[in-house]
Amino acid sequence: MLPFKSHMIDEVLVQYEGLGVLEDEDVTPTNQWKITSYPHHDAMAIIKRGDDAQEVWFSDDDLKAFKKLGYAVCHNKLDEHGKKVYIHHNMRTHYEKKK
Protein backbone atom coordinates (compact mmCIF):
# COMPACT_ATOMS: atom_id res chain seq x y z
CA MET A 1 0.00 0.00 0.00
CA LEU A 2 1.16 3.50 -0.72
CA PRO A 3 2.31 5.57 2.26
CA PHE A 4 -0.65 7.93 1.87
CA LYS A 5 -4.36 7.20 1.91
CA SER A 6 -5.90 7.14 -1.52
CA HIS A 7 -9.25 8.86 -1.85
CA MET A 8 -9.66 8.10 -5.54
CA ILE A 9 -13.18 7.15 -6.43
CA ASP A 10 -12.46 5.85 -9.92
CA GLU A 11 -13.20 2.32 -10.98
CA VAL A 12 -11.43 0.70 -13.90
CA LEU A 13 -13.78 -1.60 -15.81
CA VAL A 14 -12.09 -4.63 -17.39
CA GLN A 15 -13.15 -7.51 -19.61
CA TYR A 16 -11.39 -10.88 -19.58
CA GLU A 17 -10.03 -11.74 -23.03
CA GLY A 18 -8.50 -15.17 -22.31
CA LEU A 19 -5.00 -16.59 -22.13
CA GLY A 20 -2.30 -15.23 -24.37
CA VAL A 21 1.27 -14.06 -24.57
CA LEU A 22 1.76 -10.38 -23.87
CA GLU A 23 4.25 -8.37 -25.91
CA ASP A 24 7.75 -7.81 -24.49
CA GLU A 25 7.36 -10.68 -22.01
CA ASP A 26 8.33 -14.33 -21.91
CA VAL A 27 6.31 -16.94 -23.80
CA THR A 28 4.39 -18.11 -20.72
CA PRO A 29 0.64 -17.74 -21.35
CA THR A 30 -0.98 -15.25 -19.00
CA ASN A 31 -4.47 -13.86 -18.44
CA GLN A 32 -5.20 -10.95 -20.75
CA TRP A 33 -7.56 -8.15 -19.80
CA LYS A 34 -8.97 -5.29 -21.85
CA ILE A 35 -9.88 -2.00 -20.17
CA THR A 36 -13.37 -1.01 -21.30
CA SER A 37 -13.86 2.18 -19.29
CA TYR A 38 -13.13 5.54 -20.84
CA PRO A 39 -10.74 7.41 -20.42
CA HIS A 40 -8.86 4.75 -18.44
CA HIS A 41 -8.08 2.67 -21.52
CA ASP A 42 -6.41 5.53 -23.37
CA ALA A 43 -4.48 6.76 -20.33
CA MET A 44 -3.22 3.31 -19.31
CA ALA A 45 -2.32 2.49 -22.94
CA ILE A 46 -0.16 5.60 -23.10
CA ILE A 47 1.54 4.62 -19.84
CA LYS A 48 2.15 1.04 -20.97
CA ARG A 49 2.99 1.51 -24.67
CA GLY A 50 3.41 5.24 -25.20
CA ASP A 51 0.57 5.23 -27.74
CA ASP A 52 -3.19 4.99 -27.28
CA ALA A 53 -3.94 4.14 -30.92
CA GLN A 54 -3.10 0.44 -30.50
CA GLU A 55 -5.17 -2.20 -28.73
CA VAL A 56 -3.40 -2.94 -25.46
CA TRP A 57 -3.84 -6.03 -23.28
CA PHE A 58 -3.14 -5.92 -19.57
CA SER A 59 -1.93 -8.70 -17.28
CA ASP A 60 -2.98 -9.65 -13.75
CA ASP A 61 0.11 -7.78 -12.50
CA ASP A 62 -1.08 -4.64 -14.30
CA LEU A 63 -4.45 -4.91 -12.52
CA LYS A 64 -2.64 -5.20 -9.17
CA ALA A 65 -0.67 -2.06 -10.05
CA PHE A 66 -3.93 -0.17 -10.71
CA LYS A 67 -5.11 -1.20 -7.24
CA LYS A 68 -1.88 0.13 -5.72
CA LEU A 69 -2.58 3.43 -7.48
CA GLY A 70 -5.95 3.59 -5.71
CA TYR A 71 -8.24 2.37 -8.47
CA ALA A 72 -10.91 -0.23 -7.92
CA VAL A 73 -10.85 -2.86 -10.66
CA CYS A 74 -14.10 -4.58 -11.55
CA HIS A 75 -15.57 -6.70 -14.31
CA ASN A 76 -17.46 -4.90 -17.04
CA LYS A 77 -20.53 -7.11 -16.50
CA LEU A 78 -22.75 -7.38 -13.44
CA ASP A 79 -23.30 -10.64 -11.57
CA GLU A 80 -26.61 -12.52 -11.45
CA HIS A 81 -27.81 -10.24 -8.60
CA GLY A 82 -27.09 -7.03 -10.53
CA LYS A 83 -24.02 -6.16 -8.43
CA LYS A 84 -20.55 -5.21 -9.60
CA VAL A 85 -17.94 -7.94 -9.42
CA TYR A 86 -14.73 -6.42 -8.07
CA ILE A 87 -11.32 -7.92 -8.71
CA HIS A 88 -9.59 -5.34 -6.51
CA HIS A 89 -11.28 -2.86 -4.16
CA ASN A 90 -10.02 0.63 -3.41
CA MET A 91 -10.67 2.25 -0.04
CA ARG A 92 -14.05 3.69 -1.07
CA THR A 93 -15.44 0.49 -2.56
CA HIS A 94 -14.13 -1.57 0.36
CA TYR A 95 -15.95 0.80 2.77
CA GLU A 96 -19.15 0.54 0.72
CA LYS A 97 -18.96 -3.27 0.76
CA LYS A 98 -18.68 -3.25 4.58
CA LYS A 99 -21.97 -1.31 4.93
At 15, which helix (H) or strand (E)? strand 11-20
Residue 37 in any domain: the answer is yes
Residue 2 in any domain: the answer is no
pTM over 0.75: no
Residue 3 in any domain: the answer is no
Q: Residue 24's domain spans which residues?
A: 11-98
At 68, which helix (H) or strand (E)? helix 60-68
Residue 91 in any domain: the answer is yes
Residue 6 in any domain: the answer is no
8-67 pLDDT tens trace: 567 888 888 888 876 665 667 788 888 888 788 888 888 888 777 778 888 888 888 888
Structural domain count, the chain? 1
Residue 20 in any domain: the answer is yes
Residue 61 in any domain: the answer is yes
Largest Cα separation within the chain, whole Å, is 43
